[in-house]
Amino acid sequence: MSLEPNPALELYIGMDDETLLAELEGALLGRGPGFGPSDVDQAVRFASDWLDQRTEEFRQLLCGNVRVRLEHGGGLDKLTDAAVVADALQALLGKPTAYIVAVILLRRGLNGLCDTAGH
Amino acid sequence: MFASMTLALEQLERLGIPRQLEASYSPEDAISVLRGQARDSTVIDVVHGKLALNAGGRLMDLLIRDAGELGWLRERISVRTLLFGESSASFLSFSDDSHAILVSRALQESLVGMANLLIYLDVATGLAKISSLRRRKRQKASQECIGRVTAALRYLLLGQRMTGRAPRTPMALDEESFQFAGQIAIGAVMFVIAHEIAHIVHDHTESSTQAYKEEGGASVSEAQELQADSWALGLLMRLLSIDSHEPGGTPGTEVALWSAFTAIFATQITEKAIYVRRSRTHPEAWARWAVLEKQVPEAEEKADSLRLAFMMSAAGAMSFGEEFPDELWPSLQTDPMLGIEEEINLAKLRYWDGLNSGPLDQLVSETDSSLTADGRALVGALREGDLADSLGGIGTPNPRLERILDPSLALEFSTLKRGFGKISPTHTTGDPDAFAVVATRLAAVHLEGGFSP
């Protein structure tokens, strides 16, 4: 994991929740012209649904060692936490999707993701 | 092949789309999906998944055969069905020069439904014309057929407005008509894919609503869309002409034109009805069709008449400013070829139609007695056109409110309705749907003015 300055990650940390979801949709489906118009909230709805579908995979990747590092690693700041989570997600999601998802999941709280039945 | 489009295939996996579609389906499964009758989501996913894959493969094969300079696309583009999400088609380009084209299952279903309705109109008006009735009665019978298609389209539009998704249109066409509807539906999927390939070929990387020419007129995106349509129709005509060399086949140009017509109208026929405000990224369906029509020198008179009849049906279905003729609804249940979802019965359709097309002042009065103090304040602000205040409750966080108010962004009726639906428990003690629709219609009066052609 690199602890070098990461401007892309910092940019995503500065975004509000819905802008992040719209960014996630763009990263997943592209920003080029489609076949018809698309509604202002369509991107947010798509990204939310996609995140919900991948919840179990995120749990498996993040609710073990990664969560422990965040809880007990001692004073990791927001950017470093995001870098740790993004690093864990990168093989699965690639960049920049891993960055965006890391910021969203951290903002929602890993406890919420991990403290459910079976974990 | 995979080595040359690694990034595109990796992206497909992120979207939950496997590199190879292993699952198979029976001919009966495919028929039930193409008739709009299938209920099993797994079967629907498999059939639609293969539909885009096969359609994309055939288009690529043609490109290799006919356009040597574009042969590279075969190794660079991966076409798949996006099995979830709303109606859409898009493409992604990656740093290894690979591309992924995604057509949503929702859009493919819509294309299938619209192709079936189009052929239903052809069959039903044809039957009316060849019947032994006198001329006046034949004309009346033809008009009744147009009325039934209008009702079916209205059902689709109301369903989309009220639920945020297009409802199923189960249909029972005869075998020959069904075959032709299937050809058109598959052709329409091909047209959509070819349109996206055109964007890649022409390097249309981003949407832009800036004017295409200094003197104004169409936006850059609108001009690009027309170019992509035109290129896609040319490709589809070449492909389907090869197919139609079999004896007895329908001429390829005819099928290609019907396919393009279906794709364009299935995507945008609903635009004015389900959008509170449209953007300038895509020209209206009528304009797109007018450009394509010119590409084919002579269309048969019968085909022109059928397209005109379909457009008339669409115009009737889209007229939410007028009360819908009540006598048309029962045909959706009594006509042996037409059908609607069991969950949406005629009583519900009539109620939805009243909410969406009834006089707004009257609806406001009727819902007033069930409003809470918050509800009354909101409706008052909406009537005054105080959008920033009245939409604050459904537009939080702030960027959402900015998007709703941004005149350059397309806004669906169902998006506003969802927002008002969420706050309805604190704003009304009555029917949440009635509250949400009335509030949406009040907001739309002010928001739709944001678009100026």
Best residue of B6, B9, B11 to probe chain A, by most A CBs closer than 10 Å: B11
pLDDT per residue over B230-239, tens digit each?
A: 999 999 998 8
What's the rounded Cα separation, in Å, for the pair A113 and B49? 31
- Contact B221/A36, CB-based, under 8 Å? no
Q: Let me know: does B231 contact B201? Beta carbons within 8 Å.
A: yes
317-346 in chain B: CB under 8 A from chain A: none
- CA distance, residue A72 to nearest chain B CA (Å): 30
CB contact under 8 A, A37 and B271: yes
Task: Provide ipTM, 2 decimals.
Answer: 0.83
Report yes or no: B276 and B411 within 8 Å, Cβ to Cβ.
yes
- A117: its two tokens: 């039945």
pLDDT at residue A74 greater than cutoff 70: no
Average pLDDT of chain B, as a whole number:
86
Q: Where are the alpha helices (DSSP H) in B131-215?
A: 135-163, 175-201
Lowest mean pLDDT among A32-41, B66-75, B88-97, B117-126: B66-75
Sort B212 into a burial class: Cβ within 10 Å, 0-12 / 13-18 / 19+.
middle
Whole-model pTM: value is: 0.88
pLDDT digits 0-9 by tens, B11-27: 998 888 876 677 778 88
What is the spatial distance between Cα B312 and Cα B308, in angstroms, rounded to a whole number?
Answer: 6
pLDDT of residue A23: 94
Provide the shortest C-alpha distance from residue B85 to chain A (in Å): 6
Banded pLDDT at B182 (limits 50, 70, 90): very high
Residue B208 has pLDDT above 70, yes or no: no
| Strand B99-104 to B275-277 pairing | unpaired
Helices (H) and strands (E) in chain A, counts: 8, 0
So what's the pLDDT on residue A76?
61
Other Cβ atoms within 10 Å of A108 Cβ, number: 12
